């Protein structure tokens, strides 16, 4: 899984590390500025090198990872996890947000409203 080259394209590496489902989604995220290296916006063809810190904005999460290995080929998830190491600050931030979301009762309900919920909503709206 580890490439013997000294660098890999940013979009290919993000795809191989399974941060994005497709390479085009990785490229699009880079173009939108959701992936930064050393705080600066990059282009999809920029070379990612060992030891660089990437800041990845994925949904409501901000992941900060350090590149530990290079690969331009997508493999199993177990191999993809060896390509990077998430920083302790990033892990702590994710856990803090997860705890806040778990304690918020408005976020605990997911999915479509039940028939009973729909009737209550329509009752409040006066329908």
Decide if 110 is inside a domain.
yes
- pLDDT at residue 82, as a whole number: 96
CATH number of the domain enclosing 111: 3.10.290.10
Instruction: Average the pLDDT over 94-111 and give the result.
Output: 76
Task: Enter the pTM of the model.
Answer: 0.76
The one-character DSSP state at 74 is -
Q: Are 47 and 14 in contact (CB under 8 A)?
A: no
Average pLDDT, the chain: 89
Based on the structure, what is the number of domains in the chain? 1
Residue 64, domain member (yes or no): yes
Residue 2 lies in a domain: no
Rounded CA-CA distance 113/4 in Å is 52
pLDDT confidence of residue 112: 86
Residue 62 parent element (H or E): strand 61-67
pLDDT value at 109 more than 80: no
Classified as helix, coil or strand, 48 is strand
> Containing domain of residue 82, as a range?
7-125
Task: Answer whether residue 2 shows pLDDT above 60.
Answer: no
Residue 1 included in any domain: no
CA 4-82-17 angle, 5° bins: 85
């Amino acid at each position: 899984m580890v490439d013997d080259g000294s660098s890999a394209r940013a979009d290919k590496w993000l795809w191989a590390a399974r941060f994005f489902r497709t390479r085009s989604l990785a490229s699009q995220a880079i173009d939108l500025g959701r992936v930064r290296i050393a705080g600066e916006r990059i282009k999809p063809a920029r070379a990612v090198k060992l030891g660089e810190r990437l800041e990845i904005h994925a949904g409501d999460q901000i992941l900060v990872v350090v590149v530990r290995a290079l690969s331009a080929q997508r493999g199993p998830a177990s191999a993809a996890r060896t390509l990077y190491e998430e920083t302790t600050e990033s892990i702590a931030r994710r856990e803090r947000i997860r705890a806040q979301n778990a304690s918020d009762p408005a976020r605990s309900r997911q999915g479509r409203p039940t028939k009973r919920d729909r009737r209550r909503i329509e009752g409040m709206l006066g329908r």
